[in-house]
Structure 1
Amino acid sequence: MFFSLSPLLYLTLSILFFRFVWVIPYPHPMALLVAGVLSFLQRRDRKLLFLKSAFRKNFLSVLPAMEILFFVGMLIASWAYTGVLLLMIQTGILFLQPDYFLPSLAIVSAIAAMVSGSSWTTAGTLGVALMGVAEVISFPQAMAAGAIVSGCYFGDKLSPLSDTTNLASSLTHVPIWSHIKHMLKTTCISFGVAIFGFYILNLFVWDANQVYDSTLQSSRILPDITNQISWFKFIPVILVFGSALFKLHIRVSLALGIVSAIAFSVMESGFHFDIVRTLVFGFESHSENEVLDRFLSGGGVVAILPTEILILAAVWFGAVVEGYGYLAEILIQIKNWAKDRSDILLSTMGTAFLLNMVTADQYLSLVIPARAFRSLAEEKGIPEKDISRSLEDSGTITSPLIPWNSCGAFMSTSLGVSVFSFFPFVFFNLFHIILSVTLLLVVKKNLKVHS
């Protein structure tokens, strides 16, 4: 078992080394590369066929996420170029109350994610604008990102339009509404506690009067900038979320947002080559507001490349761990350990988390545990809805908390804050994991006492 877990040990040590000993700009891709090489070298039987097969499978699983990241980079750049993003920031400043800023971010993000069925769509559009509001009023970026991610994943988890919710439901043959209803029992408690936590953090950690003064100051500056912006530029935002309601693929939704924003720009001032350059290299803001310039400048395809490299490094590491049998050995040991209901559900959650770390793809973190433990659960008489809930309690919830996972990389890239920075403030995800595991351990303890 220790030998099977050695790749994770190499990964942990490599991350610590490249972050604190030999500090480099992008420690995680290098750590994944080194850990994969060490895990490859220690195997006696190193047939490249196994590695190629696993790499191809993992690469194809994350390829849609890599494509979507390029769309998000172009969307941010196009919305900054055409003034859509600036208008969203101005609107947020007018309506978000500083005294309830963090709870408001979580609730607004949750509603948007529930309507669109996608945490990625919400973070890549509304989330970017909300981070702009936080930047303008000088609110800590890590806290704001934590609140947005919490709301995104609460809404995504309970949305009948969500791909992960539908996937967990279909894998376990549980009707979608039964699956959502079963998740409500714990998910709403976790989100309620998270909202209360954000309120306390907003109240005691940050000076509300300072935020309010900053808001007033920014409100005086922003109208001068946004007088020239027409409110019809909200149409790209409506198209993105509206298309999601019709279950169009996220690539289509983001493409509509990009094309419509560019179309309005061309209608107003004609076509300029700067539009193409902006989509590739990002937008450069030159206003009189240094805070806005710092936030609006960015986006584009080039800005996404470090994230794409990170995901490819994770695919390499996952290919070694899966191709040379490390993962299979771990799963065998876990299945041998699982004896009762609590063990099986804990094993499902633990395996989902492990796969989020190893494969960098949240879909695999749902598919593999469902296949591995569904038959075992049937033998023990465990309801299928318990398995489906456990899949989401770990596979969906932990995915944005891992920097090299496609979800963690996406959230970090879209919101402009590293996973390690916003990790302590993702109250919903963290508390929900603690609550789910605690409930299973309590049930296991009670069964032992009664037996």
Structure 2
Amino acid sequence: MEGEKKNIFFSLTPILYLVLFILLFRFVFVIPYPHPFALCFAGILSYLQRYHRNFKFLQSAFRKNLLSVFPAMEILFFVGILIASWAYSGVLFTMMQIGTNLIQPKFFLPSLALVSAIAAMVSGSSWTTAGTLGVALMGVSQVLGFSDMMSAGAIVSGCYFGDKLSPLSDTTNLASSLTHVPIWKHIRHMLKTTCISFGLAVFCFYLLNLCVWDPEGKELLPNENQLSLLLQKEIVLWKLIPVFIVFGSSFFQLPVRISFFLGIVSALVFPFLDNSLSLGVWNSLVFGYQSQTGVETWDQFLSGGGISSILPTEFLIVTAVWFGAVVEGFGYLNEILLRIKTWAKDKFDILLSTMGTSFLLNLVTADQYLSLVIPARAFRTLAEEKLIPEKDISRALEDSGTITSPLIPWNSCGAFMASSLGVSVLGFLPFAFFNLIHVFFTISLLFYQKFKIKSS
């Protein structure tokens, strides 16, 4: 029957299908990109499981979810073009030169996290930081011989710490507005836990750096000749103008797509002034730039970008939207939320439920904004009844919704980070220390407070 209450395991079957197919395609069939196939198959099976439901529910949910991720998909196109234009005009090479000169190898990984954090806090955007500065830092990582996965994990950690505490961040402002908490009050409340988590993460990166870097000076550089050649090259500082334009426009709260557009146009001015602008630039913007410096490491870093490079990511997001539409449109999600709300009895249950729901929505809707909006609506009334401070709810939303979004391969944030940094989500996930530590720390803190009150 339409209103019949289903078993919780029945409601969780779409997620179980998803996990099963991802494992099957990755380890049995060894398909390079298993997630779109897994998402499609899980969505189709879930749809067939509830074939009796009206098709209009599926259409409505798909349209709503697609509209929610469409801005992210649009920005991805700009990122692909931006990377290609910066590589073509020499902006990325200049950033790589400066990074190699300034960042000390013995503090490399913690430096990546700190630099990314500062940039994200200034720009208010983890995406802007990862798509610009993060790309250059990955090039520095390759020259110095550090693992791409470790470096990407450090960059993601810094990006999301800075984004979380920036008054310019869209997710920070969204969580604040949804719970009617003033933005600075919301940020100050997050500082109590977020700074501890980030401090632990930076310390972990320092320890990891010690493990991979010989403190006695026997540098782990496989590319020492390439490094010395890079350091001898003259740094053209004026090629950093597009970088300042992008971060400056973000600081003035211009939309991200506008910032990236200005970065693209300003970068293409350089080859125009050098009389090196040709029809090849359009080919680079669409199909990616092909570097031919003759140095393998440089070419590996400088080649890429373009619209074609982000098409697999766009396809992944669309399939995730389809899966989320099935889960939401056919009532699976509502049943899970109903069970969660029934289970939540006290303040700590509600905060844990808010975090769990945010993570679940990141998992099934592929959009971090929905992972903030839906739990805020679902638990707002319940929180008021239990006299829970609004700032606790706003912090719980960010502690899970914002933090876990880049750790899910088919989420728009995870797909963006993987596409920009050139490392799969599952590759950098074990090294995203801040994200992992913070989720564990906040959940442990809630359990500690709950049992402390019960025992007193």
- State the alpha-carbon separation in 2 of the partners of residues 415 and 210 from structure 1: 28
- Listed as ranges, the matches of 1:52-67 within 5 Å are 52-67=59-74
Residue in structure 1 matched with residue 5 of structure 2 by the alignment: none
Residue in structure 2 matched with residue 237 of structure 1 by the alignment: 243
Residue-pair matches, total: 448
Residue 330 (structure 2) pairs with residue 358 (structure 1):
no
Residue in structure 2 matched with residue 283 of structure 1 by the alignment: 289
Residue in structure 1 matched with residue 162 of structure 2 by the alignment: 155
Any idea what SS the aligned residue of 2:409 has? coil
Residue in structure 1 matched with residue 266 of structure 2 by the alignment: 260
Residue in structure 1 matched with residue 35 of structure 2 by the alignment: 28
- Listed as ranges, the matches of 1:34-433 within 5 Å are 34-207=41-214, 209-211=217-219, 213=221, 217-223=225-231, 226-227=233-234, 230-433=236-439
Deviation at 1:334, TM superposition (A): 0.3
- State the alpha-carbon separation in 2 of the partners of residues 296 and 46 from structure 1: 50
- State the alpha-carbon separation in 2 of the partners of residues 273 and 210 from structure 1: 46
Deviation at 1:44, TM superposition (A): 4.1
- State the alpha-carbon separation in 2 of the partners of residues 202 and 399 from structure 1: 26
Q: Which runs of 4+ in 1 moved over 2 A?
A: 205-219
Deviation at 1:45, TM superposition (A): 1.6
Residue type of the partner of 1:220?
S
Q: CA contact under 8 A between 1:4 and 1:326: conserved in structure 2?
A: yes
Residue in structure 1 matched with residue 4 of structure 2 by the alignment: none
Q: CA contact under 8 A between 2:145 and 2:220: conserved in structure 1?
A: no
Q: CA contact under 8 A between 2:145 and 2:221: conserved in structure 1?
A: no
Residue in structure 1 matched with residue 3 of structure 2 by the alignment: none
Deviation at 1:23, TM superposition (A): 1.5
Q: CA contact under 8 A between 1:139 and 1:211: conserved in structure 2?
A: no
Sequence identity of aligned pairs in percent? 68
Residue ranges of structure 1 left out of the alignment (5+ in a row): none
Any idea what SS the aligned residue of 2:291 has? coil
TM-score (ref. length: structure 1): 0.97
Q: CA contact under 8 A between 2:213 and 2:220: conserved in structure 1?
A: no
1:376-405 CA deviation, whole Å, 9 max, x = no partner? 000000000000000000000000000000
- State the alpha-carbon separation in 1 of the partners of residues 311 and 407 from structure 2: 20
- State the alpha-carbon separation in 2 of the partners of residues 96 and 395 from structure 1: 32
Any idea what SS the aligned residue of 1:50 has? helix
Deviation at 1:267, TM superposition (A): 1.4
Deviation at 1:216, TM superposition (A): 5.3
1:194-242 CA deviation, whole Å, 9 max, x = no partner? 0100000000234354546557533321256x44x63211000000000
After superposition, the CA RMSD in angstroms is: 1.2
- State the alpha-carbon separation in 1 of the partners of residues 174 and 354 from structure 2: 15
- State the alpha-carbon separation in 2 of the partners of residues 161 and 294 from structure 1: 34
Q: CA 1:139/1:373 → structure 2, altered by over 3 Å: closer, same or farther?
A: same
Q: CA 1:374/1:100 → structure 2, altered by over 3 Å: closer, same or farther?
A: same
Deviation at 1:448, TM superposition (A): 2.1
Q: CA contact under 8 A between 2:212 and 2:220: conserved in structure 1?
A: no
- State the alpha-carbon separation in 1 of the partners of residues 42 and 446 from structure 2: 33
Any idea what SS the aligned residue of 2:274 has? helix
- State the alpha-carbon separation in 2 of the partners of residues 230 and 137 from structure 1: 21
Residue ranges of structure 2 left out of the alignment (5+ in a row): 1-7
Q: CA contact under 8 A between 1:138 and 1:211: conserved in structure 2?
A: no
- State the alpha-carbon separation in 2 of the partners of residues 444 and 163 from structure 1: 31
Deviation at 1:445, TM superposition (A): 1.1
- State the alpha-carbon separation in 2 of the partners of residues 206 and 72 from structure 1: 32
338-347 or 208-217, which deviates more: 208-217
Q: CA contact under 8 A between 1:98 and 1:212: conserved in structure 2?
A: no
